[in-house]
Structure formats: structure tokens, C-alpha cells
């Protein structure tokens, strides 16, 4: 006698599952399916309510119907994945970069997104978190921990940087098969209003350099504003890198923060940062003055002289300058010159702005600054380039206008 069709075993379709309540009170949904190679797979989702769990199970089914590969193994939460990722990242980036990413993970991402299962993280989740960051403000860290209840305003640009950290992390997760898409890359970042860069006028530069001529760091200011070098690149500059005969210098290393909080010579910020820079007369004369002055300091210090690297810029006993100390000294020099408050990095902006205003090509300025691409230079100095485009149009008109009217 043939078996009743009611008692026949039924093969579940791809992704079919059930929702049930477990002993701990949480609702869980289980889905099983067969991979193309014949392997049987099972995935469990959970939620606080049956409806929430059913929604998660439906999302899993949709992915299965669309042929989206489901990551294998135990699915970690965002917090669990980032805890391991940030430690691996320590060996791959500069200490200063790692410090920033670690703060992004600890103070921003984990408190907001950490409990979400990594494989279930969606672009909507990331966008919601970015919006919360903007609304709540910046968490104030004390002793390495978030201080609750005390928030400062935060810029959209900072939130973009937090998103970038999560994007880097999820890129590694995608490569390792833990997620099937990069939710941070797909999430729309907050709009960042354009803010013109700050720089000094030629008259302000002259006043600053005149006032700081006999200052211990006066030559450094002159080289900074006339070459556009970053502060770390200036402080990592060795006399061997300077060719007075050809009036050029080579940027090979940079003074940067180390893992133990001290400063040491290391690689430049990017590969494009390694470059040869022509020396204008202002920088050439400043470096000659610095070489003579440093020789006098070395003679006066005798055996107490500490420089063993042949650095161009040291204090009076040969110790390398820490970047924060230079920044503070620059603020005092600006005040002594009777100028409005300015930051050291404005000297780099001043170099680029003045060069572009004098008609130097964008690509040439980008190479001199050591930017990784011309697009970065154009983005930073967008306020200058429209004027240059107008000058280019006027030049074309001067060349063609008369002939065109005939």
C-alpha cells in the first residue's frame, strides 16, 4: 500500500526556516539550505520579538534567493570583529594613524554599532549611527574611556573620518568572507560644507619672517613657507638631504609619533611624499643661516651636543624639535609680529595658495606638496582655482579675440 502523501518527508526549499522561542526568552529563527556543492548549511538569527526575528529570517531568505553567498563560521558582532581588527591594524599603519582609528573604534563605532551582528550590519545602520554622532556630539575621553554625559560639538568632516575607519575595517571583513558587502562604503556620508583654507598674505609673511629673523626657529618658518613642506618633513630633514650647489632638497624621512608616545625619524606620510624640492632664495638663505647658527651651538655645547642624525633643525643642544613645541612657538612668533592668530600648518597653505595665484600649474604644486594626487590639491585649494580658470579664459581671449573678430 502506498504511503500517504501526508506522511511523506518534504524537502525544504532553499532558505526555508522557522521562528521559535528559546529557553532564555529570546526569539530565534533557523534556516537551512543546501549549497551547490551539496553541503548542508544552517544559520540562526535572533531577536527580542517574534516579528523582529521573522524580519531577520526574511532578509536571510532574500539573500539566499538572490544567490548572495552567506559567510561561513560563527558570525561575530561588530565589536568582536573590530577588537581583533584594530590590533592587526597596528602593524600596518603609522602610529599616529592607528591612534586616531583606535579612538574611532572605541569611542564612536563600538558604543553605537558594536552589538549588531557583523554579517547583518547594513548601510542604513551605518547612516543612522552617523546621524547620531552629529546630533550627540563628540565623546570626551578621559583616561582612555568615554566620559558619559559630557559632549562637545563635532564637525561633519570628523564623522566622515569615523566612517572611513569603519570602511577600512569592513573592507578587510569583506576580503575575509565575513561580510558580503561593505556597509560603510555603501552608506552615504554626511555633507561637509566647504570651508576655505586659511593662509597668510605676502605682507603678513614678510612681517612674520622679519620679526622672527633672530628667533631660534626663524629659519624653519622661512623654509616652511617657501617650500610647502609638512612640519614632520622639516623636522626630519638632514643636512645630507640638502644640495646647496643645485639649490634642492630631498624629502626622504619624517619625524613622526611612535607607538610609545615619543617622536622618531620614520617613513614619509605616503610614497608620493618622497620627493625633490627646488629651493627658492628665501629657503636657500635661511638654511645657510641655520647651518652657521647650528655650528655655533655645537661648538658651545661641546660634549653635551646630542644630535647624531645630522638634522638640519635642532634646539641649541642638538635635540630634535617635538612638533607640538614648534606649533606653540609659532603661535608666539605670530603674536610677536602683531599678526592675527594663525597655525603652523597655514604656512603650507600659504605656499600653495601663493604659487597657484602666481600661475604655477596645479600638477606642479601637487608634486611639490607631496600630495598623492592632483584631485586632493584641487579639493583643498578650490577657492584659488576658479580665479586661475578666469585668468586662463582671459589669456585665451587675448590670444584669439582679435583674430576671431576679423
How many percent of the chain have pLDDT more than 70? 83
pLDDT surpasses 70 at 107: yes
CA–centroid distance for 42 within its chain: 40
Cα dihedral 155, 158, 162, 168 sign: positive
Provide the Cα torsion 54, 55, 57, 58; round to 10°.
Answer: 110
User: 116-125: per-residue pLDDT in tens?
Assistant: 999 889 999 9
> How long a stretch of residues is the chain?
406
Higher pLDDT, 345 or 401: 345
User: 271-289: per-residue pLDDT in tens?
Assistant: 778 899 999 999 999 999 9
The whole model's pTM is what?
0.66
Mean pLDDT taken over the chain:
84
pLDDT of residue 68: 63
Provide the Cα torsion 392, 396, 399, 402; round to 10°.
Answer: -130
Three-state DSSP class for residue 67: coil
pLDDT of residue 5: 45
pLDDT of residue 297: 96
* Contact indicator for 218, 209 with CB cutoff of 8 Å: yes
The strand ranges marked E within 69-226 are: 138-142, 145-152
For 375-392, what is the mean pLDDT? 69
Q: What is the DSSP letter of 193?
A: -
Amino acid at each position: 500500500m502506498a504511503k500517504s502523501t501526508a506522511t511523506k518527508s518534504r524537502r525544504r526549499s532553499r532558505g526555508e526556516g522557522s521562528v521559535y522561542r528559546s529557553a532564555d526568552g529570546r526569539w530565534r529563527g533557523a534556516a537551512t539550505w543546501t549549497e551547490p556543492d551539496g553541503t548542508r548549511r544552517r544559520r540562526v538569527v535572533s531577536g527580542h520579538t517574534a516579528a523582529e526575528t521573522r524580519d531577520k529570517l526574511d532578509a536571510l531568505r532574500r539573500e539566499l534567493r538572490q544567490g548572495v553567498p552567506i559567510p561561513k563560521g560563527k558570525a561575530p558582532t561588530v565589536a568582536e570583529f573590530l577588537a581583533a581588527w584594530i590590533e592587526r591594524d597596528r602593524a600596518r599603519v603609522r602610529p599616529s594613524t592607528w591612534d586616531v582609528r583606535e579612538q574611532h573604534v572605541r569611542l564612536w563605532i563600538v558604543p553605537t554599532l558594536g552589538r549588531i551582528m557583523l554579517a547583518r550590519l547594513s548601510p542604513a545602520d551605518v547612516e543612522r549611527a552617523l546621524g547620531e554622532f552629529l546630533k550627540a556630539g563628540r565623546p570626551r575621553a578621559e583616561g582612555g574611556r568615554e566620559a558619559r554625559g559630557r559632549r562637545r560639538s563635532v564637525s561633519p568632516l570628523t564623522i566622515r573620518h569615523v566612517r572611513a575607519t569603519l570602511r577600512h575595517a569592513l573592507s578587510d571583513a569583506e576580503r575575509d568572507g565575513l561580510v558580503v558587502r561593505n556597509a560603510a562604503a555603501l552608506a552615504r556620508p554626511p555633507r561637509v560644507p566647504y570651508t576655505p583654507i586659511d593662509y597668510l598674505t605676502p605682507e603678513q609673511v614678510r612681517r612674520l619672517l622679519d620679526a622672527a629673523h633672530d628667533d631660534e626657529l626663524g629659519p624653519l618658518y622661512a623654509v616652511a613657507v617657501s617650500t610647502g613642506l609638512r612640519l614632520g618633513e622639516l623636522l626630519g630633514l638632514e643636512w645630507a638631504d640638502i644640495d646647496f650647489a643645485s639649490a634642492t632638497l630631498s624629502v626622504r624621512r619624517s619625524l613622526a609619533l611612535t607607538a610609545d608616545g615619543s617622536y622618531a625619524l620614520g617613513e614619509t606620510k605616503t610614497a608620493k611624499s618622497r620627493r625633490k624640492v627646488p629651493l627658492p632664495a628665501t629657503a636657500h638663505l635661511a638654511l645657510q643661516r641655520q647651518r652657521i647658527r647650528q655650528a655655533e651651538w655645537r661648538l658651545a655645547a661641546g660634549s653635551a651636543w646630542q644630535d647624531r642624525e645630522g638634522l638640519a633643525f635642532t634646539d641649541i643642544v642638538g635635540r630634535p624639535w617635538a612638533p607640538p613645541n614648534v606649533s606653540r612657538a609659532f603661535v608666539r612668533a605670530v603674536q610677536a609680529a602683531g599678526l592675527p592668530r594663525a597655525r603652523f600648518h597655514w604656512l603650507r597653505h600659504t605656499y600653495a595658495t601663493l604659487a597657484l595665484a602666481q600661475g604655477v600649474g596645479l600638477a606642479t604644486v601637487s608634486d611639490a606638496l607631496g600630495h598623492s594626487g592632483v584631485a586632493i590639491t584641487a579639493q583643498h585649494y578650490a577657492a584659488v582655482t576658479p580665479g586661475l580658470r578666469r585668468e586662463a579664459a582671459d589669456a585665451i581671449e587675448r590670444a584669439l579675440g582679435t583674430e576671431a573678430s576679423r
